[in-house]
Structure 1
């Protein structure tokens, strides 16, 4: 046995009080997520198909870059941002599927008298 002082893990003198680490909560909202939600709402209103794809990619980016320990309680979930991006994409492309191209109806030829 080595007689080194403080080597025994059962020694009560080496005890320290249990402290939990501080959380990294940020009181400000996520700017990227808020802008994606605004753009997705704008896409649904204007039906601009060209903005729907970057909005979807940015919403996926917000899910990838989420930090669960840094989010506020009750803040916007990145999953809701992705759902909003997908619904904006569907809302912009749905009229193309539902309405489709207009069929040409032949005009009636007036009868000669």
Structure 2
């Protein structure tokens, strides 16, 4: 059997120059989303960080607005999951204000009154 001319992959005359497409898929993760994930985790484990919850929520909404589905890596962090985590961090930072309320001050009575 004889091969058709130009069908041999080892033929030097069939070589072409490597050229990348104009919109190449980004293989790295989004740094902004990674920062929001870190801040949201920090908000949930720290006690007095309500001032970080609002910027984390705004930045996560920003990552939804600026997402490019064709340029993101498959299986990467979704901006929607980042936003859900930021909302949960915001709720978790305000729950102690609703749960722990200062009660009326009780005066201590001495165990052994001095009469």
Q: Which TM-score applies when normalising by structure 2?
A: 0.72
- The Cα shift of 1:69 comes to 0.6
Deviation string, structure 1 residues 41-93 (Cα, Å, up to 9, x no partner) = 01111131111110110011001111111111101000000011011111111
Aligned to 2:83: 82
Where in structure 2 are there 5+ consecutive unaligned residues?
Answer: 1-20
Unaligned 5+ residue runs, structure 1?
1-20
Q: Which has the higher helix share?
A: 1
Instruction: Give the CA RMSD over aligned residues.
Output: 1.9
Query: Segments of 4+ in structure 1 off by > 3 A?
Result: 21-24, 109-112
SS at match of 1:83: helix
Q: How many residues align?
A: 93
What is the TM-score when the length of structure 1 is the normalising length? 0.73
Alpha-carbon separation, structure 2, partners of 1:95 and 1:82 = 21
